[in-house]
Amino acid sequence: MELSGIGVGRGLAVGAVLRMPDPLPEPAAGQHGGDAAAEYATVKAALAAVSAELGDRAVRAGGDAQAVLEAASMMASDPSLDDDIKARIEAGTTGERAVFEAIAAFQDILIGMGGYLAERAADLGDVSQRIVARLRGVAAPGVPESDTPFVLVAQDLAPADTALLDLDKVLCLITRDGGPTSHTAILARSKSIPAIVGVGRALELVDGDVVVADAASGTITVNPSAQIIAQTRERIAQRAAIAHAPITPGALADGTPIPLLANLGSPAEAADAVALGAEGVGLFRTEFLFLGATRAPTVAEQQAQYVQLLQHFSGKKVVVRALDAGADKPLSFLTNSHEENPALGLRGLRALRASEQILRDQLVALANAQAETDAELWVMAPMVADAAETDYFVSIGRELGLETVGVMAEVPSLALVAEQVAQVADFLSIGTNDLTQYTLAADRMLGSVASYQDPWHPAVLRLVKMLGDAGARFGIPVGICGEAAADPQLAVVLVGLGATSLSMTPAALADVRAELLTVTLGQAKAKAALALLARTAVEARAVATATESITA
């Protein structure tokens, strides 16, 4: 039997399946024994214990996972949730049922808000399971324990489970749900674990099934022959040898240079990126300085952090994104938290333009940091719609002393007027996550439309080509900084569409570097041409990755 889904990376795995335990059944409706105070006290203790457990996991996880787990911990101790549970218990509902109902109501509210908050609704479901498990005195569903390495199969994975995966034991992740930008996919890339997500028949696999998982092709061979297993193990050994080969600059087989850069969220991540071969930074997210704050950081506070980053990349390019607030990253002092559809509201450059002093302070801090170091600083604006907004940002940047000023292409309208934009900006950087979201009208944080969030879609690829063509005509660089660049086979297609650099999570650099070396520029363009003619994302991936698509 062979199953298929969306592969993450180029990795291979051979191993026996272990299934995530099924979720706990929904608590039955019913009434408690009459002592509401005692019932509530028991639930209150469970809430506190789960909040503490998630907080501890956050500290141990570190990195991107820490913020997700800290948010889950805060949910478990949210006063409004506590009040709702207490009111239900006082009305006679059992503690387990009160927790289930209150959290379900909270989830509905978050889903209605969309964006980042909708994604948190899924995390809240995991919190509910953990609290109910503690009330029942049973273990919460989670990653199974094993003395031997295994392939983990699940409907989906909660952040609390994935954050602390034992990388010596988990060979591969296979999930029924999720897409190329899902939490599981992002985690797999960051930890260099092979993964195949969106596998419709994944739950047909049972404990003990032996599988060969090929992330490059997105295929899973169930109970393969001894010959297939031996061939796969040989390929795994070959990949391991390549991974330990000397790190070289990104390039195609014909020598065409394609700089491979890192996406970073704080200066603390810089050293690891350099060690993994990042030739610079293609996206530095500055939101870490602002999120959770009650005021914007000062110029001096920001400058210190930017200097710390730039010092890691002497003589190399570092692309910094101006504050991208709004939608999934609300800020009390900048954005309106009550917008009905914040993903289409006052976010990115729009929010900065409405509070221009915050923008000016950030650009001054960046210009000052540039003067203190010898890194090659580039600065770009998020959520730019057209040439007029481009001119606004570029003009302010140059006024404040920045030498290289560009914009992000995340809104389809910018691609449609790409030639106008390319005459104003010093460079373009394509954020494929949002570009895909807006092109296909599918919120990238909603699991219900995850299948639409696929940057292989020909509509998205055609917009990328418009931007690549405009960059080539007017002689400006066009980079990719979305999750699409971390997909080795899609990276080849993006280069064929005109991308001049690729930026990704540092863990993906080795795979992308190896894949680029397998094709010439002509072959990359041929693959891109085939993908553009496809009707669906699945078809685009299939025709572009077929061996017969490669031409001299």
Q: What is the DSSP letter of 290?
A: T
What percent of the chain is predicted at pLDDT more than 70? Answer: 89
Q: How many Cα neighbours within 13 Å face the side chain of 4?
A: 5
Q: How many helices (H) and strands (E) does the chain have?
A: 21, 16
What is d(CA 32, CA 29) in angstroms, rounded to the nearest whole number? 10
**Cβ pair 545, 513 in contact under 8 A:** no
Backbone φ and ψ for 377, nearest 5 degrees, come out as -85, 125
What is d(CA 67, CA 101) in angstroms, rounded to the nearest whole number? 26
103-124 per-position pLDDT tens digit: 999 888 877 766 556 656 767 7
What is d(CA 439, CA 460) in angstroms, rounded to the nearest whole number? 7
Mean pLDDT, rounded, for 215-238:
91
User: CATH 1.10.274.10: which residues of the chain?
Assistant: 36-136
CATH label, 260-549, candidates 3.20.20.60, 2.30.30.110, 3.20.20.70, 3.40.50.620: 3.20.20.60
Q: What is the DSSP letter of 336?
A: -
Backbone φ and ψ for 549, nearest 5 degrees, come out as -75, -10
Which residue in 433, 13, 372, 51 sits closest to 195, CA to CA? 13
**Cβ pair 489, 537 in contact under 8 A:** no
What is d(CA 366, CA 234) in angstroms, rounded to the nearest whole number? 49
Mean pLDDT, rounded, for 169-185:
81
Residue type, 361: D
User: Which ranges of 137-182 does DSSP label H, i.e. alpha helix?
Assistant: 159-162
**Cβ pair 410, 383 in contact under 8 A:** yes
Stated pTM of the model: 0.72
The predicted pLDDT at position 117 comes to: 61
β-partners of residue 196 are 7, 174
What is d(CA 1, CA 6) in angstroms, rounded to the nearest whole number? 17
User: CATH 3.50.30.10: which residues of the chain?
Assistant: 2-21+143-243
Residue whose structure tokens are 């379900």: 104
Q: Kindly list the distances between the CA atom of residue 20 and the CA atoms of 108, 156, 187, 346, 426, in Å, as whole numbers in the listed order.
A: 25, 9, 17, 40, 49
What fold is seen in the domain 36-136? Enzyme I; Chain A, domain 2 (1.10.274)
23 three-state secondary structure: coil
310-349 per-position pLDDT tens digit: 999 999 999 999 998 865 556 666 655 566 677 788 889 9
What is d(CA 430, CA 549) in angstroms, rounded to the nearest whole number? 25
DSSP E strand boundaries for 88-228 = 150-154, 170-175, 195-197, 210-214, 219-222
268-313 per-position pLDDT tens digit: 999 999 999 999 999 999 988 887 677 889 999 999 999 999 999 9
What is d(CA 23, CA 129) in angstroms, rounded to the nearest whole number? 7
Report the residue count for the chain. 552
Window from 22-31, 35-44, 398-407 with minimum mean pLDDT: 22-31
User: Which ranges of 373-508 does DSSP label H, i.e. alpha helix?
Assistant: 387-399, 412-416, 418-422, 432-439, 458-474, 488-496
451-478 per-position pLDDT tens digit: 788 899 999 999 999 999 999 999 999 9
> Above 60 in pLDDT, residue 387?
yes
Q: Where does residue 374 fall: left (phi above 0), alpha (psi -120 to 50 degrees), or beta otherwise?
A: alpha
Window from 175-184, 376-385, 509-518 with minimum mean pLDDT: 175-184
The predicted pLDDT at position 376 comes to: 97
DSSP E strand boundaries for 314-473 = 317-321, 376-381, 405-409, 428-430
DSSP E strand boundaries for 56-182 = 150-154, 170-175
> What's the gap between Cα 52 and its chain centre?
26
Compute how many other C-beta atoms are within 10 angstroms of the C-beta atom of residue 75. 23
What is d(CA 99, CA 86) in angstroms, rounded to the nearest whole number? 9
What is d(CA 69, CA 53) in angstroms, rounded to the nearest whole number? 10
Query: How is residue 258 written in tokens?
Result: 């394609």
User: CATH 3.20.20.60: which residues of the chain?
Assistant: 260-549
Compute how many other C-beta atoms are within 10 angstroms of the C-beta atom of residue 294. 7
The predicted pLDDT at position 98 comes to: 95
What is d(CA 129, CA 159) in angstroms, rounded to the nearest whole number? 13
> What residues are labeled active site?
183, 481
What is the strand order of the sheet 12-19 is part of? Answer: 2-4, 219-222, 210-214, 12-19, 150-154, 170-175, 195-197, 6-8
Residues with Cβ within 8 Å of residue 211, at least 6 apart in sequence: 13, 14, 15, 16, 17, 151, 172, 174, 205, 220, 221, 222, 223, 224
N-terminal to C-terminal alpha carbon distance within the chain: 35
The predicted pLDDT at position 552 comes to: 45
Superfamily of domain 2-21+143-243: Phosphohistidine domain (3.50.30.10)
The predicted pLDDT at position 19 comes to: 93
What is d(CA 483, CA 436) in angstroms, rounded to the nearest whole number? 11
Mean pLDDT, rounded, for 159-175:
81
Which residue in 251, 242, 305, 249 sits closest to 280, CA to CA? 249
